[in-house]
Chains A and B, each alone.
Chain A
Amino acid sequence: MDVFPAGHPLLQAQQLKHTFRTGRCALQSVNVTIHAGEMVAIIGRNGAGKTTLTKHFNGLLKPTAGTVLVGGQDTRRVSVAQLARTVSYVFQNPDHQIFHGRLFDEVAFGPRNLGLSGKELDQRVASALDAVNLAAYVDRDPAELSRGQRKRATIASVLAMKTPVLILDEPTSGQDYQESRQIMAILQQLHQQGHTILLITHDMELVQEQAQRVLVLGDGQLLLDGSPDELFRQASLLQIAGLRRPPIIDLQHRLEELGLTASVPTAESLAAALASRIQQGPSVHVDPTPGRNAACP
């Protein structure tokens, strides 16, 4: 699968501009390079240009100005079907793609288009369905599945194509907690296998736990390209992007103001830092920010 060595610039947007036929400018001069093996989260308000940007990376949209290179190829010169060998894309609404009467065929659709058949095809479909925990439904009609299951079916249909790059538009929307954990675990696993993963999401916890790199879009502009940590330190940016840090990060930052630092923002490390401080006793007096009680005499 991995034709691109890790770190190789795989997706490049140079001075990318996109104006819709209605005249609305959806992207203005976006410069970004995604390297092979990266796991990137794309966030921003609805209408900020997230989907428009990612649709350029598999050629569904062509830049109105600037260039987009996928594996070094200009997307304007290559067909979407050709690019689908490198980049696969899971759409937000599963009902926009599902049309087979049997789940097996739905998942096999993409690989078949890539020219696969026989044993290899069967095996790919089986392992993709296994990965999304739908192996038991292989002969069922996708229409009978719940929306969450259908969403996972579409993820499986893309997994079976085994492309180096995977783009997912809100993969965890409409999923319950367990299901979204499961999807994230799948993505993490794929990432470890060397796939490059781009995900559009509104789930800040997901960004914090999974992504190495975050792109923040606002009004068609790239507002930040950095680590989740950098993002969470910029309150104004979070505000513009209509986001809130996850509670655990909030807690970490509040404790930092009190002189308590934990290396990693997890419940365990924060609890450990707190516990060790409590054990030390009140030797270091920290003046807590006056709370509600301070107002009372």
Chain B
Amino acid sequence: MSLSIEYIPATSPVHKLHALTKLAGALTVLTLSMLMGTPVPLVILQLALLGIAAVANVHQELLGAMKGLLKVAVVLIVLQVLFYSEGTALVPLFAGLAITDQGILFGVTMALRMLVIVSSFLLFLMTTPTRSTVLSLVEYLKVPYDYAFLFITALRFIPTFIEEVHLIRQAQEARAHDFSGGAFSRVRSLFPLALPLVSISLKRAERMAMAMETRGFGLPGRTHYRLEAPEAGDFLMMLLMVLAVVIISLFL
């Protein structure tokens, strides 16, 4: 599963939009997907997101991520279908459970909703430099810088973690450790992977904190080298988003 959540540099109308606009866009999609209770509008919404991704030239990455999300979607559908009891029973199952028509509908809707929400946020992250995100969070949404930094660092370190997991896995395999095995032994066999990962990560966090403090992190009166203000186009987009939410909530 390739879940790309890194910024992909490019010059496109989507990339040019202000971070705040794109964040508002992702939140709009979130709201819309909550308003929509049937699969068809959600599919249309997803297609629209793919269209925006194509304009931003990140559709390849988004499609790759969607492929990975499909597995999660299938699990969601199966769970809903199994445990949703309302509606007409189509296939009776054990212990009073049954596959119902509404269960299937509900499961598919949930899965699509998940897909739409995750896609919209991925789209936001892929087309917005993290620096701009932090800046707009701090400057316009008045999020304390420490929290904005925390958010960004968490994202930044995911690829590093993955790299680390690979290396540790290799180091243990080189000592004839077998990571496969039955369910119970599998959990046990993960210790040689999990323990070094935790210890390395803690050490890194400590080192990073020290390095940041030596460079004056946390001093009051923080200024920004670069300021980005929303432009006319951004306000227009945000207006359209509000309109979309209002209209769709009236019609659905």
Contact = CB atoms under 8 A, between A and B. Distances in A.
Contact of B200 (A85, A91, A95, A157): A95
Interface string B164-204: 10011011111111100000000000011001100110010
Contact of A95 (B173, B178, B199): B199
Contacts of A58: 174
Interface stretch (A63-71, A108-116, A228-236, A270-278): A108-116
Contacts of A89: 171, 174
A206 interface: no
Interface string A73-97: 0000001110011001101010111
Contacts of B173: 60, 80-81, 84
B165 to A, nearest CB: 10
Interface in B141-178: 164, 167-168, 170-178
Given A109-B192, A143-B199, A97 B176 contact: no
Question: Which of B167, B176, B203 has the most chain A CB atoms closer than 10 A to its own CB?
Answer: B176
Interface string B78-89: 000000000000
Contacts of B199: 95, 98-99, 143
Contact of B196 (A60, A79, A96, A114): A96
A81 B177 contact: yes
A291 B178 CA distance: 63
B155 to A, nearest CB: 19
A109 B177 contact: yes
A81 B181 CA distance: 13
A97 B175 contact: yes
Contacts of A84: 173-176
Contacts of B191: 99
B174 A60 contact: yes
Nearest to A60: B170
8 contacts: A81-B173, A84-B173, A84-B175, A88-B174, A95-B199, A99-B199, A113-B176, A113-B177
Interface of A: 55, 58, 60, 79-81, 84-85, 88-89, 91, 93, 95-99, 109-110, 113-114, 143, 157-158, 161
Interface of B: 164, 167-168, 170-178, 191-192, 195-196, 199-200, 203
